């Protein structure tokens, strides 16, 4: 059986004009940030679209297109 969990990862606040160029600058909007954990008998998948790291200093920064990646998630700690 597969399980899916929606994970609330906070929210971000942006000027509405960034997403809707037809709107005048100055109106703030809050956007939820979420990720999803899929648990399948063959493994786990964490789906997180993320935010480009440049958004920390420049909320209007565009991504470079190189953010997609696949990472292995361990099944727990190994004892030494």
Domain count, the chain: 1
Which of 45, 50, 10 shows the shortest CA–CA distance to 30?
A: 10
Q: Is residue 64 part of a domain?
A: no
pLDDT for residue 3: 96
pTM of the entire predicted model: 0.54
Q: Is residue 28 part of a domain?
A: yes
29: containing domain: 3-56
Q: Is residue 18 part of a domain?
A: yes
Which of 32, 44, 31, 50 shows the shortest CA–CA distance to 4?
A: 44
Q: Is residue 61 part of a domain?
A: no
Q: Is residue 73 part of a domain?
A: no
Residues of the chain with pLDDT under 50: 67, 78-80
Q: Is residue 37 part of a domain?
A: yes
pLDDT for residue 5: 95
């Amino acid at each position: 059986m597969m399980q899916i969990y929606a994970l609330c990862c906070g929210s971000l606040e942006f000027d509405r004009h960034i997403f809707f160029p037809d709107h005048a600058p100055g109106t703030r909007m809050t956007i939820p940030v979420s990720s999803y954990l899929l648990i399948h008998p063959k493994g786990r998948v964490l789906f997180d679209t993320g935010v480009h790291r440049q958004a920390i200093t420049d909320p209007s920064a565009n991504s470079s297109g190189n953010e997609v990646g696949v990472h292995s998630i361990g099944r727990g700690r190994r004892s030494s």
